[in-house]
């Protein structure tokens, strides 16, 4: 359809999500925005922690469309696991993955778990709470049965010791953990380390149904992006597309929308 391999996700996946369902959902969401409400307005809901800032008003619709396309990838009742990564640090992977999880959970009423697997830059708030950590789940997947989610997205910290246990991602316990989580959730969102800085990232992403590459536009270098995608694909990871973070329009946005 003439779209670049690394176009924004919602452009890349349009052929998979055409139909009346999309227009009805978007109309409902626009009505919600008009009323002055958005997903982060539910920050006081039980179990919900706004770990990252809410998107600016202009970004809300973009995040909704991103969640919308991911929603369209799920078929039947089987859970979908999506890994978010970047080529290098600082491109906003955690911000994008977290707010995508928020939209899936609070706009589309999905049971979503967001897992901090970025052991290079972990969320300290999650590692210091009393909740079950992903490092423990990797060692014993039966611990998932003890989870009692209260509010979505449900958040799981990686654990302060996740980096020392990263070898478990190569074992059967990792896939078993994702399988057990899939019995409790509709979507499993993994926030991953940068693929060009951490060799284990591709291995972790291989356990997902697909991976998305987050790219900050002002640091965009196609040769670096190509290298990151090649690293993932060489390991057998299904790269779904990319998300351009902090996108800027040289021309008026209306012109891009017509292209």
pTM of the model: 0.80
Token readout for 204 is: 């972790």
For residue 77, name the pLDDT band (cuts at 50, 70, 90): confident
| Cβ count near 222 (within 10 Å) | 11
Most confident of 12-16, 41-45, 156-160, 245-249: 156-160
Q: Would you say residue 236 has pLDDT above 80?
A: yes
Q: Residue 209: what pLDDT?
A: 96
Q: What is the pLDDT of residue 39?
A: 55
- 9-34+43-258: CATH class: alpha beta
The ranges assigned to domains in the chain are 9-34+43-258
The pLDDT mean for the chain works out to 79
pLDDT tens column, 23-32? 343 344 344 4
258 — pLDDT class (breaks 50, 70, 90): low
Higher-pLDDT residue of 57 and 86 is 86
Q: Which residues pair with 189 in a beta bridge?
A: 82, 114
* Residues 55-67: tens digit of each pLDDT: 887 788 888 889 9
pLDDT tens readout for residues 35-62? 444 555 443 344 567 888 888 877 888 8
**Mean pLDDT calculated for residue range 202-224:** 85
| Locus of tokens 């928020």 | 102
Residue 16 vs residues 9, 19, 43, 93, 207: alpha-carbon distances, Å: 11, 9, 32, 24, 22
- Tell me which of 4-13, 94-103, 195-204, 209-218 is least confident: 4-13
User: Helices H, strands E: what count in the chain?
Assistant: 10, 6
- Identify the pLDDT of residue 226: 87
Question: Using 50, 70 and 90 to split pLDDT, how confident is the model at 70?
Answer: very high
């Amino acid at each position: 359809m003439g779209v670049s391999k690394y176009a924004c996700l919602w452009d890349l996946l349009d052929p998979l999500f055409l139909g009346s369902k999309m227009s009805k959902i978007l109309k409902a969401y626009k009505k919600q925005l008009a009323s002055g409400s958005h997903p982060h307005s539910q920050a006081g809901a039980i179990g919900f922690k706004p770990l990252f800032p809410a998107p600016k008003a202009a970004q809300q619709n973009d995040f909704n469309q991103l969640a919308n396309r991911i929603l369209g990838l799920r078929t039947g009742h089987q859970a979908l696991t999506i890994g978010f990564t970047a080529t290098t640090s600082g491109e906003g992977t955690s911000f994008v993955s977290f707010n995508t999880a928020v939209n899936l959970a609070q706009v589309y009423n999905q049971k979503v778990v967001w897992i901090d697997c970025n052991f290079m830059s972990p969320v300290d708030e999650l590692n210091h709470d009393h909740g079950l950590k992903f490092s423990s789940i990797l060692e014993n997947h039966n611990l998932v049965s003890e989870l009692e989610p209260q509010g979505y997205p449900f958040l799981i910290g990686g654990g302060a010791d996740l980096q020392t246990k990263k070898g478990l991602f190569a074992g059967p316990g990792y896939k078993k953990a994702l399988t057990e989580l899939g019995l409790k959730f509709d979507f499993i969102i993994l926030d991953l380390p940068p693929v060009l800085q951490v060799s284990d990232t591709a291995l972790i992403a291989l356990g997902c149904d697909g991976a998305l590459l987050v790219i900050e536009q002002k640091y965009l270098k196609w040769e670096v992006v190509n290298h990151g995608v090649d690293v993932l694909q060489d390991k057998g990871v299904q790269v779904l597309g990319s998300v351009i973070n902090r996108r800027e329009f040289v021309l008026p946005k209306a012109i891009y929308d017509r292209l």
